Amino acid sequence: MFTSWLPTSAHLLSRGRAQDQLHAHAAEAARARFGSRVFVRAVVEVSNYCRENCQYCGMRRDNRALDRYRAEFDSLADLLLNHRPASVTDINFQTGEDPVAAREVVLPLLRLLRSETGLGLSVCLGTLSQSLAGELRAAGAQVYIIKFEIADAARYSAFEAPGILDERIAYIRWLAAEGWAVSSGFIAGLPRATIEAELQNLRFAATLPLRGCSVSPFIPGEATPLSDSPVAPVDLTLNCMAAVRLMRPDWVIPAVSALNLAGPGAGYRRGLRTGANLCTINLTPDSVRSDYLLYKRDRFIMNEERILEALAAERLEPSTESLADSLSSAPSLVAA
């Protein structure tokens, strides 16, 4: 359902009792729509090759010191068919913007999993050609994750975010029109961001034909132009997450692993308290995991044990229904 609720600067700046109330209202909205169920998805980071040059990402093409890799089909097939955690209902394939990996590794894995399992299938592969996106859809992928990152076109360009913002948004709208369940998102707390910029991100998200939206705290990436910048305030990130939930009670909102870096200790669980209803287990093989350099090599990895402990502590439970099935059975609500 759509709501007329929109956040204000007071919501994003709230602390103490006002913040507790904001987060409690967001959690209530999530429980009213989804109950205590939280989707548990696994991510496999297939390739760290990237043709983009985002200033906030360690995989940017100008990072010549990074060891590039594309994972092998056979090892990932064995992992996903025979060794995936029991709580996982969905698999997400993620890469840098690398059409070669999308075609040569992700496509055959999608076909295999569609034929051999009942898993829900998601991809996060950047802006690809329409023909390749169509092949991914035909191979069984149902959810496309593509973040708009920054709502202001001038700032989008200044941070060298992927391509041109208008083209990115046109691609999101095309995907939704083609029947994909699209999830997007933005980065909170980027250097020099104002509260008005964060409000712009939130209001912009509400105009898009999405089924989910993430809020990722800015973490300064190694080997990037922003490496000396401060980490985003965790309270700002959490308040943005709560705002997304109150704007759109029907959306899927992930608790991102970076909350563990922005808010060491309880950051991740606090994300669940803002109405997040998706957790992600990282299944990227250990041999290449440190080279998938979104920000830091020593990023906090969420495994099944950590996620199940966090859910239990917050009196939540893993969903037995896949995210993809849930989205396909729910009505598609398209923003203007």
Q: 235 versus 298: which is more confidently predicted? A: 235
The structure tokens 């993620």 sit at: 94
Tell which residue, 63, 70, 61, has the closest CA to residue 222: 63
In this prediction, residue 331 carries a pLDDT of 64
Task: Kindly tell me if the per-residue pLDDT of 17 is higher than 70.
Answer: yes
pLDDT in tens, 198-243: 999 999 999 999 999 999 999 999 999 999 999 999 999 999 999 9
Give the pLDDT band of residue 3 (cuts 50, 70, 90). low
How far is residue 124 from each of residues 65, 91, 143, 256, measured CA to CA in Å?
24, 11, 9, 14
In this prediction, residue 264 carries a pLDDT of 78
Each domain of the chain, given as residue ranges in start order, spans: 9-328
How far is residue 89 from each of residues 2, 79, 100, 272, measured CA to CA in Å?
27, 15, 27, 19
How far apart are alpha carbons 254 and 215 in whole angstroms? Answer: 8
pLDDT in tens, 169-179: 999 999 999 99
In this prediction, residue 1 carries a pLDDT of 42
How far apart are alpha carbons 34 and 32 in whole angstroms? Answer: 6
How far apart are alpha carbons 73 and 159 in whole angstroms? Answer: 33
pLDDT in tens, 76-111: 999 999 999 999 999 999 999 999 999 999 999 999
Phi and psi at residue 317, to the nearest 5°: -145, 150
How far apart are alpha carbons 44 and 95 in whole angstroms? Answer: 9
The CATH superfamily label for domain 9-328 reads Aldolase class I (3.20.20.70)
